Amino acid sequence: MIKFLSFLGTNKYEVCNYLYQDQKAENCCYIQEALLKMLIGEDKIPDKVVIFTTSRAFEVNWIKNANEECRMPGLKDTLENLKKDMNGADVKNVMIPDGNDYKELWEIFNIILSEIENGDELVFDITHSYRFLPMMAFLVLNYARMIKNCRVTAVFYGGFEALGTVGQVKQMPLEKRNAPVFELTPFIEVFDWTIGVDRYLNTGDASLINNLTLSGVKAANREILKSAESMKDLKTAALLKELAAKLQTYSDTVFTCRGKKLSKAACNLKGIIEEVAEKSAHDFLKPLASVMQKLYERFGVFGRSEYEDLIEIVKWCRDNKLYQQGLTIMEEGLIGYICDVFGLNKVDLNDRDLASQCVAIKIRNIAEEKWKSPARENRETARRVINSSRLPSSFWNLMYSIQNSRNDINHAGWQKNPRNEAAFKDELDSFITTAERIVSEAPPESVPKEAAMPHKKRRKMLLIFSHEMTQEQEKDAEKDLGVEEFISLPASLQDKWSRIPAEIESLDEYLRNILYWIDENAAAGDYALVEGDFGATYAVVGYCKKKGIIPVYSTTERKVAEEHADGEVRTYRSFRHVRYRVYGG
Alpha-helical segments (H) within 481-531: 491-498, 512-521
Q: What is the CB neighbour count within 10 angstroms for residue 198?
A: 13
Q: What does the alpha-carbon distance between residue 325 and residue 41 come to, in Å, rounded to a whole number?
A: 55
Q: What angle do CA 507, 513, 514 make, to 5 degrees?
A: 75
Dihedral of alpha carbons 26, 29, 34, 40, sign: negative
SS3 content of the chain, % helix, strand, coil (to 5): 55, 15, 30
Pairing mode, strands 2-7 and 121-125: parallel
Is 2-183 a CATH 3.40.50.10640 domain? yes
Residue-level pLDDT at 556: 80
Beta bridge partners of 4: 49, 123
Dihedral of alpha carbons 76, 81, 84, 85, sign: negative
Could you state, in order of their start, the residue ranges of all structural domains in the chain? 2-183, 190-299, 319-444, 456-582
Cis peptide leading into residue 374 (ω within 30°): yes
Nearest Cα neighbor of 188 from 138, 243, 240 is 138
Q: What is the CB neighbour count within 10 angstroms for residue 535?
A: 14
Residue-level pLDDT at 312: 92
Backbone angles phi, psi at 439, to 5 degrees: -65, -40
Fold match flag (2-183 vs 456-582): yes
Nearest Cα neighbor of 275 from 300, 254, 298 is 300
Residue-level pLDDT at 105: 87
433 contacts 397 by C-beta, under 8 angstroms:
no
pTM value surpassing 0.75: no
**Cβ-count burial 366-399 (b if 16+ within 10 Å, e if not):** eeeeebeebbeebeebbebbbeeeebeeebbebb
Q: What does the alpha-carbon distance between residue 510 and residue 494 come to, in Å, rounded to a whole number?
A: 13
Which CATH code is given to the segment(s) 456-582?
3.40.50
Q: What does the alpha-carbon distance between residue 245 and residue 201 come to, in Å, rounded to a whole number?
A: 15
Beta bridge partners of 551: 528
pLDDT in tens, the chain (585 residues): 999 999 999 999 999 999 998 899 999 999 999 999 999 998 899 999 999 999 999 999 999 999 988 889 999 999 999 988 998 899 999 999 988 888 988 898 899 999 999 999 999 998 987 667 777 887 888 888 878 889 888 899 999 999 999 999 999 999 999 999 998 877 777 767 777 777 777 777 777 777 766 655 445 444 444 444 444 555 666 777 788 888 888 888 888 988 888 888 888 888 888 887 776 545 555 556 667 777 888 888 888 788 888 999 999 999 989 999 999 999 999 999 999 888 899 888 999 999 999 999 999 999 999 999 999 999 999 999 999 888 888 999 999 999 999 999 988 888 888 888 888 999 999 999 999 888 877 545 433 333 333 334 578 999 999 888 888 889 889 888 888 899 999 888 898 999 999 888 889 888 988 998 898 888 888 899 999 999 999 999 999 888 888 999 988 876 655 666 666 766 655 567 888 888 875
Q: What does the alpha-carbon distance between residue 424 and residue 426 come to, in Å, rounded to a whole number?
A: 5
What is the residue-wise DSSP string for 162-174? GG--HHHHHTS-G
